[in-house]
Amino acid sequence: MANDKSPLSGIFTPNLTLVDEKGQVLEEELRRYTDWLIDKGVHGLYPNGSTGEFTRFRPEERRRIATIIAEQTAGRVPILAGAAEENLQETLKTCEFYAELGVRAVAVVSPFYYKLSPDAVYAYFAEIGKNSPIDVTLYNIPMFASPIDVPTVQRLSEEYPRIIGIKDSSGDLPHMMRMIQAVRPNRPDFTFMTGWDAALLPMLLMGCNGGTNATSGIAPEWTKQLFEDATSGNFEAAKAMQYRILQLFDRAIGTGDFPDGFRVALQLRGFKTGWGRQPQTAAQKQQLEELRGILAPLLDETAISEALHS
């Protein structure tokens, strides 16, 4: 799988980073989680994304997390690894590391903290496109980073073959359609992935190749089924599944600070997750306990199975 250069397609799961009570990575549990996701049929894995809280780990920790997942995956599914760092030089070093690790491609978020102009965003990704030894997907998440506009995506796609796709987490369907319309005529191989679970089916119907969806880390059976139904033309089943995913996503993301709701959900699926490195108040902890009771009926094994066969 590591040497497979076919276009990215399907659901790439942005895994949670499982930690102990001191915030240290639980390596064996992360390996078990990786096997579980693959056994459930995910099309690919995506370590060190927003769901994995990449900003809360040191660069060497992020590389170790990706290494653990790559070792455990052992080529069974492709890996799209988050390679975002605070500056261009460190990002290129991370791209070099992942090239040596043998993952399929990297996802590089647009520059964050400073809100940059479109020209500055273009210049940043142009340097990566010129110098990365591994295929790159742009990562547009305008709520946290400088937005990547349509002309910039079009220009980068036409000038840098190493840039092979974009992961867009804006949830903006017209924006995705405009990107596809601008890029596909000259780069039919360019991959479009949506990071917004609530719009997964509409995005697929308008031409996306797949998604990088937090819900796939807690209910991988559902996101896999939605993708397969959508791509096979079973639209009524896909629509019904999208509504189930919407309910789960809204509850997991709407209570607590992201991605704590997804940690609660994964605990209900039988994993030790810890609570990450962001301190919590007593009120937050109580809110998450209340969320556990809300999510439990949705994530019961019987409920998961029944949704697949309804």
Residue 144, CA distances (Å) to 91, 110, 113, 148, 227 in order: 17, 9, 8, 12, 27
In angstroms, the CA 163 to CA 66 distance is 21
Please give the span between the terminal C-alpha atoms of the chain, in angstroms, as a whole number: 33
In angstroms, the CA 283 to CA 289 distance is 10
Domains and CATH numbers, the chain: 10-309 (3.20.20.70)
Each residue's pLDDT, cut to its tens digit, for the chain (310 residues) gives 444 678 899 999 999 999 999 999 999 999 999 999 999 999 999 999 999 999 999 999 999 999 999 999 999 999 999 998 889 999 999 999 999 999 999 999 999 999 899 999 999 999 999 999 999 999 999 999 999 999 999 999 999 999 999 999 999 999 999 999 999 999 999 999 999 999 999 999 999 999 999 999 999 999 999 999 999 999 999 999 999 999 999 999 987 699 999 999 999 999 999 998 999 999 999 999 999 999 999 999 988 998 898 7
What lies within 8 Å, CB to CB, of 11 at 6+ separation is 42, 43, 44, 210, 211, 212, 213, 216, 220, 223, 224, 227
The two three-digit tokens of residue 39, written as one number: 């056994």
Cβ(47)–Cβ(79) below 8 Å: yes
Q: pTM score > 0.85 for this model?
A: yes
In angstroms, the CA 209 to CA 188 distance is 11
What lies within 8 Å, CB to CB, of 41 at 6+ separation is 220, 221, 224
Which of these, 207, 202, 154, 162, lies nearest to 182 by C-alpha position? 154
pLDDT at 255: 73
pLDDT at 90: 96
- The secondary element (H helix, E strand) that includes residue 211 is strand 210-211
